[in-house]
Amino acid sequence: MKPILDVQKVKKYFPVERGAIFRKVAGQIKAVDNISFSIVPGETLALVGESGCGKSTVGRLILNLLPVTGGTIFFSGIPLEEMDRSQRKIYRSAVQAVFQDPMSSLSPRMRIREIIAEGLVINQSLSRNEIDSKIQQVLDQVGLPQDAIKHYPHEFSGGQRQRIAIARALIVDPKLIILDEAVSALDVSIQAQIVNLLRDLQREFHLSYLFIAHSLGTVRYISDRIGVMYLGSLVEIGPAEEIFTNLHHPYTRALIDAAMPSHPDFVREDVVLAGEVPSALNVPEGCRFNTRCPFAKDVCRQVEPEMFEIGPGHFTACHMLDGAPEAGFFLN
């Protein structure tokens, strides 16, 4: 299948400036460093990683909220920067977003009707009646009462606000929705509601999701493929179950082992990845994980590993490809 979104060798560096009057660029924060992946219609790709790994930046680059430093993002085969006016207009409806904080993502002074209709009002010329019937439709789809349109965001609970945010994205018939930690801020019982809603909507409208998250439980439930990011670059990407059961990168292992167990019987003692993520201002030479990796050899400290295909659609960037690390291999 032809990918709907194709991210090719994308980089995003933020310059760090020093000096009060004469600004000098003192360094580069490599938030995203040479990332490639693609998403086909109807699929969910999850990007996981710890804070500062650049996963949210990738989402903002795709949404065109930030310019890329290098590389290209293709949508339906067309590079983003080469789009003309009409293609841009299509792109703006086709790619939507739902963010983490439902408090901050809805204008506090707008009524729900206005919030949901914004994308329509800007991009399409519809009559009031047509807009109203579309709003009615999406409110039904996300499970909100019809009289919600008259109210303001602060009158709703967190889960309902996230439904509003989803309705707002849904109304313009998107192809791809960037879900940036879209359920992380919600209570456990509400999280399940929203994740199920997202799954139902995906089936109904054949949507693609880029699901940016740090909670592996949710990711395992919702995604078809998973990309694991560390310090601005992908260390492993592949089919979701492969990543959980047949993973190769030591960092993927560490991340999965660090997830909280769902039952006291699953508790493994003393499975610890030592150390902390280095600063993105000072990415380690060679493999960026070498400072924390218990297997690091000399080659890891000198040569940056490239992505190798180790199974169908399963890529990883590690010099130590001989065997997959077993669960709990970080035993102290």
Partner 1 sequence: MLTSFLNAGKWLWHLYVKRRFPLFAVSTIVSFFALALFGENLSPFPPNQVDLGARFSPPFWQEGGSIAHFLGTDGLGRDILSRIMIGARNSCIVAIFSLFLGGFLGTVIGIVSGYFGGIVDGILMRMGDATIAFPIILLAILLSIILGPSLLNVVAALGLVLWARYARVIRGEVLSLKERDFVALARVAGASDLRIMVKHILPNIYNTLLVLLTLQVGWVIIVEAALSFMGAGLPGPDPVWGSMVAKGRQYVTSAWWVPFMPGMAIAIVCLSFNMLGDWLREVLDPRMRQVE
Partner 2 sequence: MTQPLLKVTDLKTQFRTKWGLVKAVDGVSFHVKHGETFGIVGESGSGKSVTSLSIMRLIPQPAGRIVSGAIELDGLNLLELSEKEMRDYRGGKIGMILQDPLSSLNPLFTIGSQIIEGLRIHTSLKGRSLKERAIDLLRRVHIPSPAMRMKDWPHLLSGGMRQRVVGAISISCEPELLIADEPTTALDATIQLQYLNLLKRIQKETRLSIIFVTHDLGAVAYLCHRAAVMYAGRIVETATVKDLFDKPAHPYTIGLLNSMQKVEKKADHIESIKGQPPNLKNLPIGCSFAPRCDQVKDICKEKYPEETELGADHLVRCWVVKKEAVKIK
State the nearest-atom distance from the C-beta of 84 to partner 1, in Å. 14
320 binds partner 2 (CB under 8 A): no
Q: Least distance from C-beta 39 to partner 2, angstroms?
A: 20
Instruction: Look up residue 13 and give its two tokens.
Output: 């560096």
Q: Does 159 bind partner 2 (CB under 8 A)?
A: yes
**Which of positions 91-120 make contact with partner 1 (CB under 8 A)?**
92, 95-97, 99-101, 103-110, 118-119
Candidate residues 66, 259, 283, 324; the one interacting with partner 2 per rule CB under 8 A: 259
Q: Per CB under 8 A, which of residues 192..251 are in contact with partner 2?
A: 192-193, 195-196, 214-218, 220-221, 240-241, 244
Which x/- pattern over 230-269 shows residues binding partner 1 (rule: CB under 8 A)? ----------------------------------------
And the tokens for 234? 């992908």
Among positions 8, 50, 83, 89, the unique one binding partner 1 when judged by CB under 8 A: 89
Give the separation between CA 254 and CA 250, rounded to whole angstroms. 6
190 binds partner 2 (CB under 8 A): yes
Identify what 163 binds: partner 2, partner 1, none; CB under 5 to 8 Å per kind.
none
Q: Which of 25, 121, 258, 281 binds partner 2 (CB under 8 A)?
A: 258
- Nearest Cα neighbor of 148 from 203, 187, 106 is 106
Residue 60 interacts with partner 1 (CB under 8 A): yes or no: yes
- Is 156:105 a contact under the CB 8 Å cutoff? no
Count of residues that bind partner 1 according to CB under 8 A? 30
Instruction: Report in angstroms how near the CB of residue 168 gets to partner 1 at its nearest.
Output: 7
The number of CA neighbours under 13 Å toward the Cβ of 271 is: 20
Q: Which is nearer to partner 1, 101 or 304 (CB)?
A: 101
Residue 250 in tokens? 């030591």
Nearer to partner 2 by Cβ, of 63 and 259: the residue is 259
Least Å distance, CB 35 to partner 1, is 20
Tell me which residues touch partner 2 (CB under 8 A): 50-51, 157-160, 187-193, 195-196, 214-218, 220-221, 240-241, 244, 254-267, 270-274, 276-277
Binding site for partner 1 (CB under 8 A): 60, 63-65, 88-89, 92, 95-97, 99-101, 103-110, 118-119, 122-123, 154-155, 165, 168, 172
